Amino acid sequence: MEFVFKRPESLIDVPFHFCPGCHHGIAHRLVAEAIDYFKIREKTIGVASVGCSVFMYDYFDIDVLEAPHGRASAVASGVKRALKDRIVFTYQGDGDLGAIGIAEGIHTANRGEPITLIFANNGIYGMTGGQMAPTTLLGQKTTTSPYGRDFTYDGYPIRMAEMMATLEGSAFVARVAVNNPANLMKAKKAVRKAFQMQIEGIGFSFVEFLLACPTNWGLSPLEANRRVEEEMIPYFPLGIFKERKMADYL
Amino acid sequence: MDQSAEKILVKGNEAIAMAAIDSNCLLYFGYPITPQNDIPEYLSKHLPPLGGEFIQAESEIASINLLLGASATGKRAMTSSSSPGISLMQEGISYMAGSELPAVIVNISRSGPGLGGISPSQGDYFQATRGGGHGDYRVIVLAPSTVQEMYDLTCLAFDLADKYRNPAMILGDALLGQMKEPLIRKKPPSLPLPPKDWALTGAKGRKPNRIKSLYLQEGELTEHNWKLYQKYERMKKEEVRFECVGCEEADLVIVAFGSMARVAKTVVELAREEGMKVGLFRPITLFPYPEKPLYELSRRVKRFLTVELNTGQMVEDVKLSVDREAEVYFYGKPPGALPTPEEVFEEVKKSMG
């Protein structure tokens, strides 16, 4: 019998610890598929962040370095500067990149470090138990915005992809979702493109994933999937915000 | 790299930058802060032609994490800063100690607390020798007192960091960083070093390497902390360094490090001129602290005067080290200006009764 669908080689054959209906596993898989596609498993170094994504080293069959909370993009820049011919990526949550590590993320992009940032935006702090994230939507209830996020108290959800795209240093910026097969296929393409930008030395690449967090949203997996479509995508539009064709400079 | 024995006149900060290059450290990350800017300025000029990397980061937090990433590849890397910047780096230093990553961190310290000032100070002694960040860890701390030592000890710091897979710190101060002295730019012989088979280089022809400091499984973290402890104990056995000046016949021994030890050396001379038997014990490694040599000394010498450019930090280590019957006096000066040798000599006279 012929295999038509199998586990990517870059993923280790262990069950994910992620909650039922969580989209992290799908995003992990898409990254692993891109690594397989370009046959770069043996030259890729992943940088794990702090949050649900910290256990990356349990799942990816590659060298992995664990960064302090928020610092993954600086850590990854250090790796890349030391080993310029390797492929380096981070996988960071919204607290990691959008809050505590926003300076490191922006300056990494601004320096045009030829690395790839995978940004997992589920609008909530998953690992710590459902607190407000910088990307939590207005009105959204979390354990630290029990009355719903109010911009007069908490400000607005940050659109990271759009912000990254404004920086001259970024070469490829996209926002994707995996809530349905059509979006998933676009996400797969975007991740592949992001790694390609790095492999070809074109520059810094950034893919924001809108991910469901049913557990902390207090929804069933199906309801959470619907919420991505109905509430997240209208505020965080999907698409490619920037795509350089070559390593160009001002 | 100039390996001739010719003497050159350089600033302490420049000597550190030269030592980095001569130690094959071609990766530097830093953020400007007085009084250590000569280091990034020198390296921004000299690293790129050597194929090295220099990044002026957006903060000391970014600097230490760039350092963390670079050192994880097994290559030598360095950052430098001064007190407030070193405070910002403490998170990263804790992670590096927990992840067992070697790198050199230079603190050309200034005065605090807070923004403090840019004058020399030894107010960072506790921070440097007690780990500095969260968790139960130590960094190797070397305290130069001349420009030549700024060079020699930086070379040594790279070797010690690699030998123990641990961050190593140079604790200088504004005086040592900014003053010029003759330097013989000749790299000391390297220590035998273990292979870096833990480095992240891409899992080619081997199982993936993982570098982390998170241990959640039952018992794992306890074991990890014991492992780190054993490493620190080994440092205490093998790496203690100090200098003794006229301690053999001394009735009183001054204990001082770094720039204060320079003043203390003059005090020893002043005392000798007046026929007083005064010696100097100068710790070169602040961690591991020379506890045993100081204890041995205190079995004979019963009076110690600790002199520091703060209101009393290293004196605690002196008290912990010496024999119970020994008297430990303290003369400290908060940052501003170094005390004159005469001023310290007055304290020596008081302590000798």
Question: Does A92 contact chain B (CB < 8 Å)?
Answer: no
Using a CB-CB cut-off of 8 Å, the residues of chain A touching B134 are none
**Which of B313, B261, B265, B251 is closest to B283 using CA atoms?**
B261
Using a CB-CB cut-off of 8 Å, the residues of chain A touching B66 are 74-75, 77-78, 81
DSSP B288: S
Between CA A203 and CA A195 the distance in angstroms is 10
Q: What is the pLDDT of residue B55?
A: 98
Q: H-helix or E-strand containing B345?
A: helix B341-352
Using a CB-CB cut-off of 8 Å, the residues of chain B touching A54 are 214
- Please, are residues A31 and A118 in contact by the beta-carbon 8 Å criterion? yes
Question: Does A230 contact chain B (CB < 8 Å)?
Answer: no
Between CA B221 and CA B227 the distance in angstroms is 10
The residues facing B285 across adjacent strands are: B142
Positions of chain B with pLDDT under 50: 1
Between CA B35 and CA B178 the distance in angstroms is 7
DSSP B104: E
The shortest C-alpha distance from A48 to chain B (Å) reads 9
Using a CB-CB cut-off of 8 Å, the residues of chain B touching A68 are 65, 68, 91-92, 95
Buried b (16+ CB within 10 A) or exposed e, B98-116: bbbbbbbbbbbbbbbeeeb
Cα distances from B65 to residues A68, A86, A197, B68, in angstroms, run: 8, 18, 24, 5
End-to-end CA distance of chain B: 53
Question: Which of B65, B91, B203 faces A62 most closely, judged by CB atoms?
Answer: B203
End-to-end CA distance of chain A: 54
Instruction: Tell the residue number behind the tokens 């990494």, with chain if given.
Output: A108
With a CB cutoff of 8 Å and minimum separation 6, the contacts of B34 are: B82, B110, B118
With a CB cutoff of 8 Å and minimum separation 6, the contacts of A94 are: A119, A120, A121, A122, A123, A124, A133, A134, A135, A160
Q: Say if the ipTM goes beyond 0.85.
A: yes
Q: What is the pLDDT of residue A10?
A: 97
**What three-state secondary structure class fits B85?**
helix
Between CA B105 and CA B70 the distance in angstroms is 13
Pull the structure tokens for residue B39: 């280091």
Residue B95 CA neighbour count, 13 Å, CB half = 27
Using a CB-CB cut-off of 8 Å, the residues of chain B touching A67 are 65, 68-69, 95
pTM above 0.95, yes or no: yes
Note whether B69 contacts A77, CB cutoff 8 Å.
Answer: yes
pLDDT digits (tens, 9 = 90+) for B221-266: 999 999 999 999 999 999 999 999 999 899 999 999 999 999 999 9
Q: Which residues 59-88 of chain A have a CB within 8 Å of chain B?
A: 60-68, 71, 74-83, 86-87
**Over chain A, what HEC string results?**
CCCCCCCCCCECCCCCCCCCCCCHHHHHHHHHHHHHHCCCHHHEEEEECCCHHHHHHHHECCEEEECCCCCHHHHHHHHHHHCCCCEEEEEEEHHHHHHHCHHHHHHHHHCCCCCEEEEEECCEECCCCCEECCCCCCCCCECCECCCCCHHHHCCCCCHHHHHHHCCCEEEEEEEECCCHHHHHHHHHHHHHHHHHHHCCCCEEEEEEECCCHHHHCCCHHHHHHHHHHHHHHHCCCEEEEECCCCCCC
pLDDT digits (tens, 9 = 90+) for A2-50: 888 899 999 999 999 999 999 999 999 999 999 999 999 999 999 999 9
Buried b (16+ CB within 10 A) or exposed e, B169-199: bbbbbbbbbbbebebebebeeeeeeeeeeeb
The shortest C-alpha distance from A63 to chain B (Å) reads 5
Between CA A228 and CA A240 the distance in angstroms is 18
With a CB cutoff of 8 Å and minimum separation 6, the contacts of A235 are: A137, A157, A159
Cβ atoms within 10 Å of A67's Cβ, excluding its own:
32
Q: What is the pLDDT of residue A3?
A: 85
Note whether A83 contacts B201, CB cutoff 8 Å.
Answer: yes
The shortest C-alpha distance from A105 to chain B (Å) reads 10
Positions of chain A with pLDDT under 70: 249-250
Q: Give the CA angle between residues A32, A36, A39 to the nearest 5°.
A: 140
Q: For testing the chain A interface, which of B28, B43, B65 should be mutated: the one with the most A CBs within 10 Å?
A: B65
**Which of A65, A31, A43, A44 is closest to A193 using CA atoms?**
A31
In 3-state terms, chain B is what percent helix, strand and coil (to 5)? 40, 20, 40
- Please, are residues B347 and B331 in contact by the beta-carbon 8 Å criterion? yes
**Which of A144, A46, A33 is closest to A90 using CA atoms?**
A46
- Please, are residues A115 and A90 in contact by the beta-carbon 8 Å criterion? yes
Q: Which residues 4-63 of chain A have a CB within 8 Å of chain B?
A: 41-45, 47-48, 54, 57, 60-63
Question: Which of B58, B201, B205 faces A107 most closely, judged by CB atoms?
Answer: B58
Q: Which residues 176-205 of chain A have a CB within 8 Å of chain B?
A: none
With a CB cutoff of 8 Å and minimum separation 6, the contacts of B299 are: B323
Hey, what amino acid is at B334?
Answer: P
Cα dihedral across residues A87, A93, A94, A95: positive or negative = negative
Between CA B232 and CA B303 the distance in angstroms is 29
Residue ranges of the alpha helices (H) in B243-313? 258-273, 291-298
Note whether B70 contacts A79, CB cutoff 8 Å.
Answer: yes
Q: For testing the chain A interface, which of B197, B204, B210 should be mutated: the one with the most A CBs within 10 Å?
A: B210
Q: What is the pLDDT of residue B4?
A: 59
Note whether B95 contacts A68, CB cutoff 8 Å.
Answer: yes
Q: Which residues 68-97 of chain B have a CB within 8 Å of chain A?
A: 68-73, 75, 77, 91-92, 95
With a CB cutoff of 8 Å and minimum separation 6, the contacts of A181 are: none
